[in-house]
C-alpha cells in the first residue's frame, strides 16, 4: 500500500534553516502543492541561495518541479519543464517531467529478467519493453519528506518504501533521495537504497532542461560536451545490443563542444531507429569519468542566455534524450507549450537492460548492501 503523507492541519509556509545555512544566505521553505484525488496532501520544498538560484521539489514522484537560474544579464528563468499543479503531473505521467525514476530507469527488454534462476516480469509500457520501472513506478508515488539541511547546504530528503512484488520487482526496497543546494549554485541529488531480497535497481532523475528557459522553442543551438568515448548502440526496439561502440565518426560524438542540432538529422542507422520513435537522440553514453564525482562528465552551454550546466556523477552512464516525443500538445507552467526538441535530459544511470546484459556493470542489490549514487548539476555564473 502506498504510504500517505500527513500534515498538521492545513499546509503551512515556514522557513526551516540551520544556523549554517542562514549564515550562508541559504533558505528552505516548506509549503503545499495541492492534493491527490484521494485527498493525500502533496508537499513542496523551496531551496534558495543568495545567487538567485531556486529549486522546488514536490513529494509527488520526487519531482524537481522548477529550477530558477539567472542568465548573463541577471534575468532569472525556470529552466526545467513541468506543471503548475499536481493534476498536470498525474494527467501527463508518461513524460516523466522532473521525476525520480525507479525501480529501474530506462528500458528492460520484454519487461523480463532473471535473478538467481527465477524469471521476473515487469509490466510492458513501451511497446514490448518495460520503461522506467513500469506504468506505476516511483514517479507515480507520493514520497515522505523532511528537511535535510547541513552546513553549507539546504535540502530535502524524500523516502519511499516499495513493497515486495511492486511492478513485479522482488524485495521490499527502501529508497531515500536527497536534493540539496549550496552557494556555489550546485544542485546535488543523492540516492540511497536497501532491500530485504536480491533485486535490481537503476535510479535516476528525469528533468527536462532548456537553458534558454522552459517553453523556449528549441535546444538545437545549445552546445553539449559529453566526456564519453563510447555509447551503447541499440536495436530498433531501443534495447542495447551489448556492444560498447566508439562515438568517433558517428552523430553520437560530443567529445568536443557540439550543437545538439548539428547531427540530429544525420543519415545514421541509430538515428533511424530513434526516428521511428519520433526522431532525435535517445541513447546511453558510457562516461569516461569512471564514477569519479570530481571529474566533469557533461557540459551544456546556451550561447543566447549564457547559462551553462556542468554535470558530475558517480554513475557509469548518462542517457541524453532530446524531448523527441514532445509535439506541442502539452501546456506546462504558465501555459507555455512544450514543442519537439525543446528540451534535453541528462539521466545519470547504469546502462539500459543491464539485468539482461551480463557484460554491463551490475544493477543487482542484495540484502545487507546499500546502493548509493550522487549527481551534481552546477550552474556557474555567466
Please tell me whether 207 is known to bind a ligand.
Answer: yes
Please tell me whether 112 is known to bind a ligand.
Answer: no
Phi first, then psi, for residue 329 (nearest 5°) are -85, -15
Instruction: Tell the burial category of 176 from Cβ atoms under 10 Å away from its Cβ (0-12, 13-18, 19+).
Output: middle
User: Residues with catalytic annotation?
Assistant: 206, 347
Q: Return d(Cα 274, Cα 323) in angstroms, integer.
A: 12
Query: pLDDT per position in the chain (382 positions), as tens?
Result: 333 233 333 333 333 344 445 446 999 999 999 999 999 999 999 999 999 999 999 999 999 999 999 999 999 999 999 999 999 999 999 999 999 999 999 999 999 999 999 999 999 999 999 999 999 999 999 999 999 999 999 999 999 999 999 999 999 999 999 999 999 999 999 999 999 999 999 999 999 999 999 999 999 999 999 999 999 999 999 999 999 999 999 999 999 999 999 999 999 999 988 766 678 999 999 999 999 999 999 999 999 999 999 999 999 999 999 999 999 999 999 999 999 999 999 999 999 999 999 999 999 999 999 999 999 999 999 9
Tell me the helix, strand and coil percentages in the chain, rounded to 5. 10, 40, 50
Q: Return d(Cα 194, Cα 160) in angstroms, integer.
A: 11
What is Dmax (Cα atoms) for the chain?
60
Please tell me whether 107 is known to bind a ligand.
Answer: yes
Please tell me whether 208 is known to bind a ligand.
Answer: yes
Please tell me whether 282 is known to bind a ligand.
Answer: yes
Instruction: Give the model's pLDDT for residue 99.
Output: 98
Q: Return d(Cα 283, Cα 327) in angstroms, integer.
A: 20
Q: List residues bridging with 308 in a β-sheet.
A: 301
Instruction: Tell the burial category of 205 from Cβ atoms under 10 Å away from its Cβ (0-12, 13-18, 19+).
Output: buried
Q: Return d(Cα 115, Cα 195) in angstroms, integer.
A: 14
Amino acid at each position: 500500500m502506498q504510504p500517505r503523507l500527513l500534515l498538521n492541519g492545513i499546509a503551512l509556509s515556514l522557513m526551516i534553516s540551520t544556523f549554517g545555512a542562514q549564515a550562508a544566505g541559504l533558505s528552505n521553505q516548506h509549503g503545499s502543492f495541492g492534493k491527490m484525488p484521494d485527498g493525500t496532501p502533496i508537499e513542496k520544498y523551496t531551496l534558495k541561495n543568495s545567487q538567485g538560484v531556486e529549486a522546488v521539489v514536490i513529494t509527488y514522484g520526487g519531482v524537481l518541479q522548477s529550477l530558477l537560474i539567472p542568465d548573463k544579464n541577471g534575468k532569472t528563468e525556470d529552466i526545467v519543464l513541468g506543471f503548475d499543479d499536481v493534476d498536470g503531473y498525474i494527467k501527463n505521467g508518461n513524460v516523466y517531467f522532473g521525476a525520480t525514476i525507479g525501480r529501474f530507469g530506462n528500458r528492460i527488454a520484454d519487461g523480463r529478467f532473471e535473478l538467481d534462476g527465477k524469471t521476473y516480469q515487469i509490466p510492458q509500457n513501451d511497446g514490448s519493453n518495460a520503461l522506467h520501472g513500469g506504468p506505476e513506478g516511483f514517479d507515480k508515488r507520493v514520497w515522505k519528506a523532511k528537511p535535510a539541511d547541513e552546513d553549507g547546504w539546504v535540502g530535502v530528503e524524500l523516502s519511499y518504501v516499495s513493497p515486495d512484488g511492486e511492478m513485479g520487482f522482488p524485495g521490499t526496497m527502501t529508497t531515500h533521495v536527497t536534493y540539496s543546494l549550496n552557494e556555489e549554485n550546485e544542485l546535488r541529488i543523492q540516492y540511497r537504497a536497501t532491500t530485504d531480497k536480491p533485486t535490481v535497481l537503476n535510479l535516476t532523475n528525469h528533468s527536462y532542461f532548456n537553458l534558454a528557459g522552459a517553453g523556449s522553442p528549441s535546444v538545437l543551438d545549445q552546445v553539449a560536451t559529453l566526456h564519453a568515448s563510447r555509447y551503447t548502440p541499440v536495436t530498433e526496439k531501443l534495447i542495447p545490443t551489448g556492444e560498447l561502440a566508439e562515438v568517433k565518426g558517428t552523430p553520437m560524438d560530443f567529445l568536443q563542444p557540439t550543437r545538439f542540432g548539428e547531427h540530429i538529422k544525420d543519415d545514421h542507422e541509430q538515428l533511424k531507429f530513434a526516428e521511428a520513435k519520433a526522431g532525435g537522440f535517445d541513447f546511453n553514453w558510457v562516461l569516461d569519468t569512471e564514477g569519479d564525482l570530481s571529474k566533469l562528465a557533461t557540459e551544456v552551454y546556451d550561447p543566447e542566455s549564457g547559462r551553462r550546466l556542468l554535470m558530475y556523477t558517480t554513475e557509469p552512464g548518462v542517457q541524453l534524450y532530446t524531448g523527441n516525443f514532445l509535439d506541442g500538445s502539452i501546456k506546462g507552467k504558465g501555459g507555455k507549450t512544450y514543442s519537439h526538441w525543446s528540451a534535453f535530459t541528462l539521466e545519470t544511470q547504469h546502462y539500459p537492460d543491464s539485468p539482461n546484459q551480463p557484460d554491463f556493470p551490475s544493477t543487482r542489490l542484495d540484502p545487507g548492501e546499500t546502493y548509493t549514487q550522487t549527481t551534481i548539476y552546477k550552474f556557474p555564473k555567466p
